[in-house]
Amino acid sequence: MMFWEIVELEDGDIALVRENETEPMMKIAFSKEARERLQVNHIEIAKVMIGAGMEAVEQMMELGEDFEGSDDWIDIETPSETLH
């Protein structure tokens, strides 16, 4: 069984890390303004975001969906797109 940990990194980013590993699977970074508004709640918000993402992946795997190479795949590296 694989265990995951949600940790706050030294730079303030929140990361999902596989137990006993150092390289994060993913990171969530909040802007300075967002952190000021959320105060200590940014960790709880990140947990909800990670949970929703893992749920989505699980549903895609159950349905056998493969978005690789599909037009439906969103390139998260493209900052010019607005996602709703």
pLDDT for the residue numbered 84: 46
Q: Quick one: pLDDT at residue 66?
A: 61
φ/ψ region of 27 (left if φ > 0, alpha if ψ in -120 to 50, else beta) reads: beta
The gap from C-alpha 43 to its chain's centroid, in whole angstroms, comes to 12
Task: Quote the pTM value.
Answer: 0.66
Residue 14 buriedness (CB in 10 A; 0-12 / 13-18 / 19+) = buried
> Residue 53 is encoded by which pair of tokens?
């993402």
Answer yes or no: is pLDDT of 24 > 70. Answer: yes
| pLDDT reading at 75 higher than 70 | no
